[in-house]
Amino acid sequence: MPVYNGERFIRTALDSLISQSFRDFELIISDNASDDKTHDICQEYVMKDSRIKYTRQSKNFGGYWNFNYVLKHARGQYFMWASVDDFWLPRFIEKNIEALDSNQETIGSISDIKLYDSFSKESKPSINDLLNRNSRRFQYVISTSGTIEERVRTYLKFFQASIIYSIFRTEVIKKSFISELFWANDLAIVLNTLKYGNLNVVDEILMYRYVPQKSISLIQYQLRAKIPIIKIIFLELPFTIWFLKNFGVRFFIENLDIFIKLNLRGGYVISAELLRMCKRITYGQKKFW
């Protein structure tokens, strides 16, 4: 669990993890120098559950660095990134481990996902089925089958990466992780895992993901992630180049239609955001995001 300033969510996340029916796991928490109550809450849970290993970093090294940190320190046969604002029903780990144990060609498994977008007064997740259409895409995950090319094309066309929160075979996800930071690099990691086998989805909602009612600007989000400006302006180009290098010219050409659409869409999205920013600056608004 990589975390920074997660006091609003972390109790719910930790409670759902330590209450799992599958008990044999280690929970590695890397706190990216939070300045809220995250440290105190984590220390409280360390005292009550010996499976929790907590590290507080000396400074905030960035979210992507933190995701890599917990992966590097994983020792078990299986690995899962646990986002601090998600939570899991009690049999999530059990059922996905069963799927992995029963089929060696499966390299990652997750359940169906439901979204939530707010907390009640009792600080409990409040499920809202009326989320906006743009948010709904984050709840969809799909299984894969067939050849490597068929598996990869499935997720290229789908172009969603929520399945990165699967339980993976540790050796596979470590080999699949990439150090380069660019838009959709989480999907690039997913595509890398598909070189080694299939992704499975348990046909039951056992996981809930948080999607805020108001999302920040795409440009602002990437600046916070410390993605270089040139990679933000040409939004989908770094992913396109990465794919070409890692899957070869032939496979790239076979999927050229997808990449043309991606880059056209990326150009439209960034242009639209820049125009909105210019409009807000012109009218003297303080917040131009």
Judged on CB neighbours under 10 Å (0-12, 13-18, 19+), 245 is exposed
Q: Specify whether the backbone of 136 is left (phi greater than 0), alpha (psi in -120 to 50) or beta.
A: alpha
Nearest by Cα to 162 from 103, 120, 209: 209
- Note if the pTM is more than 0.85: yes
Break the chain down into helix, strand, coil percent, rounded to 5. 45, 15, 35
165: nearest Cα among 207, 216, 227: 207
Domain ranges of the chain: 2-210, 218-282
- Per the CB < 8 A criterion, the answer to whether 33 and 104 are in contact is no
Per-residue pLDDT of the chain (289 residues; tens, 9 = 90+): 999 999 999 999 999 999 999 999 999 999 999 999 999 999 999 999 999 999 999 999 999 999 999 999 999 999 999 999 999 999 999 999 999 999 999 999 999 998 887 654 444 555 554 344 444 545 579 999 999 999 999 999 989 999 999 999 999 999 999 988 999 999 999 999 999 999 999 999 999 998 776 666 788 878 888 888 888 889 999 999 999 999 999 999 999 999 999 999 999 989 988 888 888 778 776 665 5
Fold of 2-210: Spore Coat Polysaccharide Biosynthesis Protein SpsA; Chain A (3.90.550)
First to last CA, the chain: 29
Query: How many degrees, rounded to 5, is the angle at CA 159 between CA 153 and CA 160?
Result: 125
